[in-house]
């Protein structure tokens, strides 16, 4: 073996994380000089500390100018080392530069506005204070008297109180300081964004005092006890809590968190940003008070850095936040929870396109912590891992509030509506149920699941959908009337009549929330309607404004996209209408059915959250599709079995793994050329290594052009993840040393959660 070299970063918080220096690794340090190891190195004339962020066998400068590492520091609980090791894991498994990965995991120093807290406290015993008070009264020093009386009763006075309410002048205070009776304290305190968030909403009349845990029911208690037993035995595992909406998962998290905190360890609670509502935060605040903090996208970089310092200093025990909260530098991390584990937002859309689930499990492994994944509709990935015995599975089948029932679900066949002459998007059954709600003063939510909608073509008479014969995914219609498969590039002319039943009602599916809103107003002119979609929520606040207005009963009907499915509880909503379940069922990627099942189950979970029984109407052209049938019957296991059979038949994840190489360029010819070269190079690598990896494409992405960039993709399927990452490493090298990739941006995405 030749000499080994390490890239060492010296100032980890500077933000210039790519500024590394190369050192050689002496023979005796080879086994300990690993990624992330803290090292001592000669730096100029002095010795400095740094971290290893890269390893290679290639010197970057003349060998005689490279100095050796002096020593590797004992590896202990050094959080920086752990985070660098985590960056390396991300870099290896999800494809990104080490620099991008480091920027993802390490907090970068930012100018922070600290809050100073100035107070006045006693500097002597109570008897001295009382003597001084007596003296002030005797001599008629009114100001001194006011101050001392208040200090004796309150113990500590805010500076604002001293100068404001008590109107004590500075010389008076100075005199008392000189006498050794009081002293002024200035504390620098980091702000807790959670407390300010909750203060902001004051006046909603809610109790913010700490509350003890209500007793868990038997099923909840069982989960708690098992995890608590593992914790106290020092056993660290990944648990999957599969519980219907409202089954009390959050209550279980709270009780387990309490155990972890009691044992002196810290907790990361991941929640999709959209579910990070006032009510959720309040629940945590009531249990844990100031020991909880929050991260969210509206916080500035400085505020985020602030929180990471507070975490590192041990000022907080629990952080709540979206994906990025995973990198909170807790030194005594004991537990990571991912609520709504199946949510696509846990996957980063920017390189490194890491998935928070897998990174959470790795972080927990590095710090000896446990992981809880929770969902009403677990991802196939998580449930399959649990089936294999890799995760421990718990199931909560009923709602936690005694007497709360699951809603009744009915499926409406839109083909029959057409046959009966109803061309509206509202079936007769749905209209009837809406009318009833209007009469009784209850509320309705109408839901158009456009997420992932990519312009599929289907038959209104028989429900037939145009699919790619090779990939079994819906084809997308392009302007010129061509249907394209975005995995393999297959093209077909759009047929004039349905190939299945001959009907001429074969077309793209065009409807939007605005059209629905107009439709509702036409049928029910007296109804008060609110609409929530990307257009009506451009401003940050409008999202919660619309929801709270609806929650206050200021509208009868809320029309919206998948945005309305999450978060708030509306006790007065007793009807949820899913207008076209087909929209997400035909989104043109292999996860269409899984996404549809999730959306339907979550939407159904919105109905009947209060005392009133809820009803759900699912409208569709494919009432026999297993995703729709099992969602209507709230049968997750049934869905899982059928969906796994489909994934197995076509070797889609989690049966095998997919790597998408996304090729972006402003020049179309360049994008095409680069995509062909990548597909060719991948084929070569596969042949050389005797692999069975399938390479599909190149093909134009579903969004073939966006932001002036042409988008092409090459799609690789392989059962062994490590061969897929080896292929990625090979392609990275190829791209780096080839002439043909100038002005071409190439991104890797492993097991993508959304279409391209």
Residues 97-136 touching ligand ADP, rule: CB under 6 A, are none
Nearest distance from C-beta of residue 251 to ligand ADP, angstroms: 4
Token pair in block for residue 146: 């006011």
Q: Which of 461, 444, 487, 485 is nearest to 603 (CA)?
A: 444
- Residue 461 interface partner, choices ligand ADP, Zn ion, none, CB cut-off 5-8 Å depending on type: Zn ion
Please report whether residue 704 would count as binding ligand ADP according to CB under 6 A. Answer: no
Closest to ligand ADP by CB, 249 vs 342, is 249
Which one, 249 or 647, has the nearer CB to ligand ADP? 249
Q: Is 255 in the site for ligand ADP (CB under 6 A)?
A: no
Peptide bond preceding 417: is omega within 30 degrees of 0, i.e. cis? no
Minimum CB separation of residue 347 from ligand ADP in Å reads 22
| Choice from 36, 38, 248, 352 touching ligand ADP (CB under 6 A) | 248
- Which of residues 277 and 549 has its CB atom nearest to ligand ADP in the complex? 277
Residue 616 CB, nearest distance to ligand ADP (Å)?
Answer: 17
Angle at 427 between CA 423 and CA 429, to 5 degrees: 150
Lookup: tokens for 724: 């897929």
CB of 665 to Zn ion, least distance (A): 23
CB of 293 to ligand ADP, least distance (A): 21
| Burial class of residue 637 in the structure, from the number of CB atoms within 10 Å of its CB (0-12 exposed, 13-18 middle, 19+ buried) | exposed
- The conformation of residue 403, written as its DSSP 8-state character, comes to T
Q: Binds 487, which of Zn ion, ligand ADP, none (CB < 5 to 8 A, cut-off by type)?
A: Zn ion
Does the protein bind ligand ADP through residue 243 (CB under 6 A)? yes
Minimum CB distance to ligand ADP smaller for 72 or for 400: 400
Own/partner long-range contacts of 57-62 (Cβ < 8 Å, ≥24 apart): 57/2, 57/3, 57/4, 57/5, 58/5, 59/3, 59/5, 59/22, 59/24, 60/5, 60/22, 61/22
Quick note: the x/- pattern for ligand ADP over 606-635, rule CB under 6 A, is ------------------------------
Q: Identify the residue among 7, 80, 145, 251 touching ligand ADP (CB under 6 A).
A: 251
Q: Shortest distance, CB of residue 214 to ligand ADP, whole angstroms? A: 5
Least separation in angstroms between residue 254's CB and ligand ADP is 8
452 binds ligand ADP (CB under 6 A): no
Stretch that binds ligand ADP, among 209-217, 226-234, 558-566, 709-717 (CB under 6 A): 209-217
Q: How is residue 676 written in tokens?
A: 């062909």
Residue written as token pair 């202990």: 76
Binding mask 212-231 for ligand ADP (x = CB under 6 A): --x-xx--x-----------
Considering beta carbons, is residue 286 or 464 the nearer one to Zn ion? Answer: 464
Q: Exactly one of 250, 328, 596, 665 binds ligand ADP (CB under 6 A); which one? A: 250
- Residue 280, classified by CB atoms within 10 Å of its CB into exposed (0-12), middle (13-18) or buried (19+), is middle
**Residue 340 interacting with ligand ADP (CB under 6 A):** no
Contacting positions for Zn ion (CB under 5 A): 459, 461-462, 464, 468, 470-471, 485, 487-488, 490, 498, 500-501, 503
Shortest Å, Cβ 250 to ligand ADP: 3
Given ligand ADP, Zn ion, none, residue 251, with its beta carbon under 5 to 8 Å by kind, binds ligand ADP
CB of 479 to Zn ion, least distance (A): 20
Which of Zn ion, ligand ADP, none interacts with 498 (beta carbon under 5 to 8 A by kind)?
Zn ion
- Beta carbon nearer to Zn ion, 605 or 623: 623
Cα–Cα distance for residue pair 592/600, rounded to 1 Å: 12
Q: Where do the DSSP E strands lie in 382-490?
A: 392-396, 408-413, 443-447, 457-459, 476-477, 482-484
Choose the contact partner of 400 out of Zn ion, ligand ADP, none; CB within 5 to 8 A by kind: ligand ADP
Q: Nearest distance from residue 245's CB to ligand ADP, in Å?
A: 5
List the one residue out of 170, 431, 193, 152 whose CA is nearest residue 304. 193
Long-range contacts of 470-475 (CB under 8 A, 24+ apart): 471/590, 471/650, 471/696, 472/646, 472/650, 473/588, 473/589, 473/590, 473/592, 474/586, 474/587, 474/588, 474/592, 475/588
Q: Which is nearer to Zn ion, 560 or 653 (CB)?
A: 653
- As a whole number of angstroms, the distance between CA 15 and CA 107 comes to 8
Beta bridge partners of 36: none
Q: Which does 216 bind (CB under 5 to 8 A by kind): ligand ADP, Zn ion, none?
A: ligand ADP
Instruction: Using alpha carbons, list the distances in angstroms from residue 239 to 338, 369, 391, 636.
Output: 10, 12, 5, 18
Point out which span in 249-257, 271-279, 490-498, 515-523 binds ligand ADP (CB under 6 A).
Answer: 249-257
Query: Between residues 143 and 650, which has the closer beta carbon with respect to Zn ion?
Result: 650
Q: Is the bond into 555 cis (omega within 30 degrees of 0)?
A: no
Selection from Zn ion, ligand ADP, none that 503 binds (CB < 5 to 8 A by kind) is: Zn ion
- Structure-token match 């312009």, residue found: 455
Q: Which position among 401, 419, 645, 706 is part of the footprint of ligand ADP (CB under 6 A)?
A: 401
Q: Which tokens hold the place of 182?
A: 């009081």
Asked if 381 and 653 touch (Cβ cutoff 8 Å), the reply is yes
- Kindly state whether residue 193 participates in binding ligand ADP, applying the rule CB under 6 A: no
Based on CB atoms, which residue is closest to ligand ADP, 24 or 395? 395
Contacting range for ligand ADP; rule: CB under 6 A; set: 134-142, 211-219, 321-329, 477-485: 211-219
Return all residues near 98 (Cβ < 8 A) that are at least 6 apart: 53, 54, 87, 88, 91
Burial of 511 (0-12, 13-18, 19+ CB in 10 A): middle
Considering only residues 104, 238, 247, 293, which one is a binding residue for ligand ADP as defined by CB under 6 A? Answer: 247
373 interacts with ligand ADP by CB under 6 A: no
The backbone region for 751, taken as left when phi is positive above 0, alpha when psi lies in -120 to 50, beta otherwise, is left
- Neighbouring CB atoms inside 10 A of 449's CB total 26
Give me the 576-605 binding string for ligand ADP, x by CB under 6 A, dash otherwise.
------------------------------
Q: Tell me the site size for ligand ADP, rule CB under 6 A.
A: 14
248 contacts which partner out of Zn ion, ligand ADP, none, CB within 5 to 8 A by kind?
ligand ADP
The nearer residue to ligand ADP, 249 or 464, going by C-beta atoms, is: 249
Alpha-carbon separation of residue 409 from 457, 603, 617, 640 (angstroms): 27, 11, 6, 19
With CB under 6 A as the contact rule, the residue among 39, 101, 267, 400 that binds ligand ADP is 400
Q: Determine the distance from the C-alpha atom of residue 4 to the mean position of all C-alpha atoms in its chain, rounded to a whole number.
A: 38
Name which of 498 and 580 has its Cβ closer to Zn ion: 498
Task: Quote the CA–CA distance of 735 and 745 in Å, as a whole number.
Answer: 10
Q: Does residue 754 sit in helix, strand or coil?
A: coil
Pick between residue 498 and residue 634 the one whose CB is nearest to Zn ion. 498
Rounded Cα distance, 578 and 604, in Å: 9
**Quick one: DSSP state of residue 391?**
S
Cα 699 from Cα 745, distance rounded (Å): 16
Single residue of 245, 642, 665, 693 touching ligand ADP by CB under 6 A: 245
Distance in Å, CB of 374 to ligand ADP, minimum: 7
Query: What residue ranges bind ligand ADP (CB under 6 A)?
Result: 214, 216-217, 220, 243, 245-251, 400-401
């Amino acid at each position: 073996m030749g000499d080994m070299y390490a890239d060492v970063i010296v100032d980890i918080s500077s933000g210039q994380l790519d500024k590394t220096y190369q050192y050689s690794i002496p023979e005796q340090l080879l086994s300990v000089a690993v990624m992330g190891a803290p090292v001592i190195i000669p730096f100029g004339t002095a010795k400095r500390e740094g971290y290893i962020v890269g390893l290679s066998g290639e010197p970057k400068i003349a060998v005689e100018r490279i100095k050796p590492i002096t020593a590797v520091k004992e590896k202990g609980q050094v959080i920086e080392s752990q985070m660098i090791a985590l960056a390396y894991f991300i870099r290896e498994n999800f494809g990104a530069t080490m620099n991008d990965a480091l920027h993802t995991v390490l907090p970068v120093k930012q100018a922070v506005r600290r809050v100073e807290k100035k107070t006045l406290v006693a500097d002597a015993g109570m008897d001295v204070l009382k003597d001084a008070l007596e003296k002030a009264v005797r001599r008629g020093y009114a100001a001194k008297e006011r101050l001392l009386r208040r200090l004796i009763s309150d113990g500590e006075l805010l500076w604002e109180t001293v100068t404001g309410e008590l109107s004590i002048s500075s010389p008076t205070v100075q005199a008392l300081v000189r006498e050794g009776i009081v002293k002024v304290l200035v504390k620098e305190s980091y702000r807790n964004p959670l407390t300010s968030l909750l203060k902001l909403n004051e006046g909603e009349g809610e109790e913010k005092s700490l509350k003890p845990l209500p007793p868990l029911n038997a099923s909840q208690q069982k989960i708690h006890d098992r995890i608590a037993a593992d914790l106290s035995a020092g056993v660290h595992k990944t648990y999957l809590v599969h519980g219907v909406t409202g089954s009390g998962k959050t209550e279980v998290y709270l009780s387990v968190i309490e155990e972890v905190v009691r044992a002196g360890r810290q907790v990361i609670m991941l929640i999709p940003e959209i579910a990070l509502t006032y009510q959720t935060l309040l629940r945590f605040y009531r249990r844990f008070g100031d020991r909880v903090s929050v991260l969210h996208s509206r916080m500035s970089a400085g505020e985020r850095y602030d929180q990471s310092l507070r975490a590192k200093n041990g000022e907080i025990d629990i952080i709540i936040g979206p994906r990025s909260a995973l990198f909170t530098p807790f030194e005594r991390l004991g537990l990571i929870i991912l609520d709504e584990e199946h949510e696509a937002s846990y996957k980063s859309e920017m390189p490194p396109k890491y998935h928070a689930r897998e990174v959470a499990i790795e972080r927990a492994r590095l710090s000896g912590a446990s992981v809880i994944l929770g969902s009403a509709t677990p991802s196939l990935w998580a449930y399959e891992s649990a089936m294999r015995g890799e995760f421990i599975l718990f199931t909560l089948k009923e709602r936690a509030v005694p007497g709360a029932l699951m809603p009744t679900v009915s499926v409406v066949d839109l083909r029959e509506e057409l046959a009966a002459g109803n061309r509206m998007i509202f079936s007769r059954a749905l209209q009837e149920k809406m009318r009833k709600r209007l009469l009784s003063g209850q509320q309705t939510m109408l839901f158009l699941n456009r997420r992932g909608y990519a312009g599929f073509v289907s038959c209104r008479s028989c429900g037939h959908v145009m699919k790619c014969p090779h990939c079994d995914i819906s084809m997308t219609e392009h302007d010129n009337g061509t249907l394209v498969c975005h995995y393999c590039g297959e093209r077909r002319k759009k047929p004039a009549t349905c190939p299945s039943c001959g009907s001429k009602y074969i077309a793209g599916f065009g409807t939007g929330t605005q059209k629905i809103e107009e439709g509702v107003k036409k049928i029910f002119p007296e109804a008060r309607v609110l609409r929530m979609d990307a257009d009506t929520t451009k401003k940050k606040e409008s999202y919660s404004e619309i929801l709270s207005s609806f929650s206050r009963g200021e509208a009868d009907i809320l029309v919206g996209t998948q945005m309305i499915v999450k978060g708030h509880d509306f006790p007065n909503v007793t009807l949820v209408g899913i207008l076209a379940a087909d929209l997400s069922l035909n989104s043109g990627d292999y996860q269409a059915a899984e996404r549809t099942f999730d959306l339907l189950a979550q939407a159904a979970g919105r109905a009947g959250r209060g005392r009133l029984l809820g009803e759900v109407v699912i409208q569709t052209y494919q009432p026999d599709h297993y995703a729709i049938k099992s969602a209507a019957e709230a049968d997750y296991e049934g869905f899982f079995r059928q969906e796994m059979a489909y994934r197995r038949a076509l070797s889609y994840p989690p049966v095998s793994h997919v790597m998408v190489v996304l090729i972006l360029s402003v020049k179309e010819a360049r994008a095409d050329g680069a995509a062909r070269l990548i597909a060719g190079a991948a084929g070569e690598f596969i042949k050389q290594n005797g692999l069975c990896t399938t390479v599909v494409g190149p093909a134009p992405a579903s969004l073939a052009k966006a932001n002036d960039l042409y988008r092409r993709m090459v799609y690789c399927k392989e059962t062994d993840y490590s061969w897929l990452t080896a292929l990625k490493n090979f392609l990275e090298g190829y791209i780096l040393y080839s002439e043909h990739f100038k002005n071409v941006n190439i991104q890797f995405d492993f097991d993508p959660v959304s279409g391209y």
